[in-house]
Amino acid sequence: MCGRYAASFHPEDLVERMEIEADRSGERTRSVLSRPQEPPVGAPDYNMAPTKEAPVVLTRNVDDAPVRQLRMLTWGLVPSWAKDTKTAYRMINARAETLFDKGAYAKAASARRCLVPATGWYEWQASPTQTDAKGKPRKQPFFTRRADEDLLAFAGLYEFWRDRALADDDPDAWLVSFTIITTAAEPGLDRIHDRQPVVLDRDDWATWLDPAVTDPDDVRRVLNSQPTGRFEAWPVSTAVSSSRSNGPGLIEAVPRSQLHGVVDPQTGEVLE
């Protein structure tokens, strides 16, 4: 976790909802994908996968004043010291518990924090009773969102990477990427998976984005102060397991009659 999420909105939908002061989501950015992104960058995406470009909110100083911006960044952190962009495929998450113990994340945690808007996220539950054709526990995807249906904002970090092989004026000289911070899953959700993204409540957005907040204790305080019981989750089609699948049908609930060996996250009951 978190390896897939839904961002079922257009960037312009976020401007008012997230109090964006500068919408730069339309600016050209470097991609690590070998083929054009589908759906196109900026379109609603119900199956946001690693290495895609996704809407991210961050605050940068402009003329010595902080400005909240909306940008399209690559999911999968590429540290400034990386030799190439391959780390984007494996640094999609950062553990909250060890954020300041890892060189790839520590500086970003103090200076380059962001919010990752989402409708909800997917996680796969390993069945305690059912196996697949290979004899491994059958995995049932679940979709989790806020119970009040409000927008989610994952806590994230972002980083700049310079391609030294390109000239300064080459638009592909810089890659800006992000990672999503995860923590131990709360009661109920831990029946689906043992990890979950850190979802920040609206009252903490400004503090999280504030470039002046650099003390590790203050950063940890925001991460650790999020309440439990805000979410609801339900099983969805296994179609989401393919990154090529998309559309609102991915977040629709699977009828209970079609579920076998699935653990109800609310009750712990195994559905047979």
- pTM flag (> 0.95): yes
Please indicate whether residue 114 is annotated as part of the active site: no
Specify the pLDDT at position 30: 95
> How many domains does one find in the chain?
1
Torsion of CA 154, 160, 161, 162, to 10 degrees: 160
C-beta of residue 88 within 8 angstroms of C-beta of residue 76: yes
Place of tokens 């909800």: 120
Q: What CA–CA distance (Å, rounded) separates 163 from 156?
A: 23
How do the pLDDT tens digits run along the chain, 272 residues long? 579 999 999 999 999 999 999 999 999 999 999 999 999 999 999 999 999 999 999 999 898 899 999 999 999 999 999 999 998 888 999 999 999 999 999 999 999 999 999 999 999 999 999 999 999 999 999 999 999 999 999 999 999 999 999 998 998 999 999 999 999 999 999 999 999 999 999 999 999 999 999 999 999 999 999 999 999 999 999 999 999 999 999 999 999 999 999 999 999 999 98
C-beta of residue 72 within 8 angstroms of C-beta of residue 91: no
Specify the pLDDT at position 1: 59
- Residue 24, judged by CB atoms within 10 A of its CB (0-12, 13-18, 19+), counts as middle
Q: Specify the CATH number for the domain of residue 240.
A: 3.90.1680.10
- Determine which one of 2, 53, 114, 159 is catalytic: 2
- Residue 192: half-sphere exposure toward Cβ, Cα within 13 Å: 28
Residues with Cβ < 8 Å from 157, sequence gap 6 or more? 77, 94, 105, 108, 109, 112, 113, 114, 178, 179, 181
- Determine which one of 19, 27, 53, 123 is catalytic: 123
- Determine the structural domain holding residue 254 and report its residue range: 4-271
Specify the pLDDT at position 2: 72
Alpha helices, DSSP H only, in the chain? 11-17, 106-111, 205-209, 216-224
C-beta of residue 240 within 8 angstroms of C-beta of residue 124: no
Please indicate whether residue 38 is annotated as part of the active site: no
